[in-house]
Structure 1
């Protein structure tokens, strides 16, 4: 699966999926700040869980858009 990234100014959000122990999936977003001398990365998790990888990825993409939308430059 090819990585999808979204950017806003100095921030890059990369949505992804993690498999949970019970076999379900949870969307995650890695948010990186690109201007620091030591790059900062924060991981956000989608609140719900999904039965499929594709559903979890779509939820992660939506969360990435929400996070970037809330950032003021």
Structure 2
């Protein structure tokens, strides 16, 4: 699966999915800031587990939009 990337100003959110206990999946958002310095990514996890990868990816997408929406430039 190819990474999906969203940007706002100098911030980049990359969404993904990982398998967790049993047949459950969790959405993830990695947020980086491109301000010319070496900055580590901040990893956000969707709180609820999903029954399939597509649901987890949709949850990660919603979380990425929420995070980027809260950033003030």
Tell me the SS of whatever aligns to 1:38: coil
Structure 1 gaps of 5+ residues are none
TM-score by length of 2: 0.94
Provide the aligned length of Structure 1 versus Structure 2: 73
1:38 and 2:13 matched: no
Match of 2:25 in 1: 25
Q: Contact 2:23/2:52 (CA < 8 Å) preserved in 1?
A: no
Structure 2 gaps of 5+ residues are none
Equivalent-residue separation in structure 1 for 2:34 and 2:56 (angstroms):
26
Q: CA deviation at 1:22?
A: 2.0
Equivalent-residue separation in structure 1 for 2:61 and 2:36 (angstroms):
24
Tell me the SS of whatever aligns to 1:39: coil
CA deviations over 1:11-62 (Å, ceiling 9, x no partner): 0001110100222000010001111411231000001000000000000000
Q: Segments of 4+ in structure 1 off by > 4 A? A: none
Match of 2:58 in 1: 58
Cα-Cα RMSD: 0.9
